[in-house]
Amino acid sequence: MPNIILIGINHKTAPVALREKLSFSIEETLAALETLKQHPGIKEILIFSTCNRTEILYVASRSGTVDTLITFLSGSKQISPSEFVPALYILRKEEAIHHLFRVAASLDSMMVGEPQILGQIKLAYRTAVKAGTSKVLLNRMMHKSFSVAKKVRKETGIGDNAVSISYAAIELANKIFSDLSTKTVMLLGAGEMAELAVEHLISHNVGQIRVSNRTFENAVALAERFNGRALGFEERVDALTEVDIIISSTGATDYVITADQVKKAMKKRKYRTLFFIDIAVPRDIDPKINQLSNVYVYDIDDLKTVVASNIQQREQETVKAERFVSEAVIKFRQWLDSLAIVPTIKALNEKMTGIVEMECDKTLSHLSHLAEPDKDAIRRMTQAIATRAIHDPIMFLKHTGGHRDDSLYLNVARQLFNLDMLENQ
């Protein structure tokens, strides 16, 4: 089996501060691939880097390549190996394939089932193709990972359910409003939670953003970051007539929006729907507001309940998804094994012998006047022709040149003689 290796860090092994330092932009990836492909020990290589992971997948032709890559990372990212090596995982052969397939199928994501990862991996693959560092093995492996991911998405419910608080909030908003891009969001409080929520909303194309905070300066700073407008804290009640989604996360000990205020605002806004997301503890939004018509209030516990029921459903689906991944790994492994020289020659011989025998039987059955020794002679002759015909190709395959990429020629041979029928089914 070829020496497939995957090294990387992800959200489980490294904090965000470290992941940031080791992340690669597209341009950096291209440059890195150009450098690394010069290395004689690396036959094929691909780098993928997202906010949750940086992983390098490659095919090595000699030992010691892991150290080479660690040195390369350390040098290009200006970071000492002692800082990131403890967080690094090094997976080989089947483990590496298994890991890649799981990542593509979004089983290794922070939010299992999230759909972006496949697109990110495809981009990483295109980058490697562009740099000319993805060849027979990685091409096949990446395409397999895409098809596993598609199968998991199609045949399990893994991507159906929102499994994080802010994702759940957005899902709810999408079931209340038909078009978020025409809606205005108001943030009450400019803390870290609020920021996170807004980042999610922006990635879902929400319309305008208002920020209202007790300390006006912070409101201005946050509003500027998200191209929104800052409001004074006293303006929050008047703003209820023009915003549609309110995300509240102030540190106030009492309600910052009362039922009476909303009641008046609803009349003014002609009962157009209002959606409150209250992620503050203690709560900011009077829960009685939920009783008003066309107003919906979800606090942090409500959102957690939504998430919990989603997680439960998702876990059953994960089992199924893991099975798809394992199946795909086994099939890919079988293909890899077949890429070795001996099985290929064997398959080629068997195919030729089969053809010769079949054709001989067909012809000889019409030639009943021939004696048995004559028939044997014909059989021997046809067999000899076949053996001669494939002698040169087999010699070519057997001749393992030092720097020749065997997997490439073996793959071509298998395709030329159509020896992969079993695996492709």
Partner 1 sequence: MGVQTGNTLLQIAFLLYVSSLAGYLVFLVRQKDRIQKISFYLIAMGVGIHLAGMLTLGVTIKGLPVQNLVQSLSMAALALGAMFLYVQYKFNLKMLGLFAALILSITMLSALVLPDTQAPPNDAFKGVWFYCHILLIFAGDAALGLACGAGILYLLQEKGIKARNPGFFFKRLPSLDFLDDVSHACITTGFFLLTLGLVTGFVYAKVLWGHFWSWDFKEVFSLGAWFVYAVLLHLRLYAGWRGRKSAIMTIVGFAIIVFTFLGVNLFLGGHHQEFTK
**Binding status of residue 78 toward partner 1 by CB under 8 A:** no
Considering only 251, 271, 323, 415, the residue that binds partner 1 (CB under 8 A) is 271
89-92 β-sheet, strand order:
42-50, 53-60, 3-10, 89-92
Q: CB nearer to partner 1: give 69 or 274.
A: 274
Alpha carbon separation from 159 to 103, 106, 271, 314, 315 (Å, rounded): 14, 9, 34, 8, 11
**Binding status of residue 305 toward partner 1 by CB under 8 A:** yes
Q: Give Cα 215 to chain centroid, integer Å.
A: 40
Alpha carbon separation from 280 to 161, 165, 249, 411 (Å, rounded): 24, 13, 4, 59
**Contact region for partner 1 (CB under 8 A) — 115-123, 245-253, 298-306, 412-420?**
298-306
Task: Return the structure tokens found at 326.
Answer: 């394992």
**Binding status of residue 264 toward partner 1 by CB under 8 A:** no
Number of other CB atoms surrounding residue 112 within 10 Å: 20
**Binding status of residue 418 toward partner 1 by CB under 8 A:** no
Q: CB nearer to partner 1: give 183 or 414.
A: 183
**Binding status of residue 74 toward partner 1 by CB under 8 A:** no
For residue 31, the minimal CB distance to partner 1 (Å) is 44
**Binding status of residue 270 toward partner 1 by CB under 8 A:** yes
Considering only 87, 123, 176, 394, the residue that binds partner 1 (CB under 8 A) is 176
Query: Cβ distance 219 to 231 under 8 Å?
Result: yes
Query: Cβ distance 266 to 198 under 8 Å?
Result: no
For residue 177, the minimal CB distance to partner 1 (Å) is 5
Burial of 90 from C-beta contacts in 10 A (0-12 / 13-18 / 19+): middle
**Residues 225-254 close enough to bind partner 1 by CB under 8 A:** none
**Contact region for partner 1 (CB under 8 A) — 105-113, 120-128, 262-270, 342-350?**
262-270
**Binding status of residue 272 toward partner 1 by CB under 8 A:** yes
Q: CB nearer to partner 1: give 141 or 274.
A: 274
**Binding status of residue 154 toward partner 1 by CB under 8 A:** no
Alpha carbon separation from 143 to 15, 63, 116, 122, 212 (Å, rounded): 30, 27, 17, 9, 48
Active site residues per annotation? 51
Strand-strand pairing, 89-92 and 295-299: unpaired
Q: Give Cα 323 to chain centroid, integer Å.
A: 17
Residue 158 DSSP label: T
Among candidates 141, 128, 230, which has minimal Cα distance to 188?
A: 230
**Contact region for partner 1 (CB under 8 A) — 107-115, 216-224, 267-275, 388-396?**
267-275
**Binding status of residue 296 toward partner 1 by CB under 8 A:** yes
**Binding status of residue 179 toward partner 1 by CB under 8 A:** yes
For residue 195, the minimal CB distance to partner 1 (Å) is 25
Residue 106 DSSP label: T
**Contact region for partner 1 (CB under 8 A) — 22-30, 112-120, 168-176, 315-323?**
168-176
Considering only 302, 318, 386, 419, the residue that binds partner 1 (CB under 8 A) is 302
User: Torsion over CA of 200, 206, 212 and 217, rounded to 10 degrees?
Assistant: 70
- By CB under 8 A, the count of residues binding partner 1 is 23
For residue 305, the minimal CB distance to partner 1 (Å) is 7
**Binding status of residue 177 toward partner 1 by CB under 8 A:** yes
User: Torsion over CA of 239, 243, 249 and 251, rounded to 10 degrees?
Assistant: 10
Amino acid present at 352: M
**Binding status of residue 306 toward partner 1 by CB under 8 A:** yes
**Binding status of residue 174 toward partner 1 by CB under 8 A:** yes
Considering only 78, 178, 227, 368, the residue that binds partner 1 (CB under 8 A) is 178
Q: What residues make contact with partner 1 under the rule CB under 8 A?
A: 160, 172, 174-179, 266-267, 269-273, 290, 293-294, 296, 298, 302, 305-306
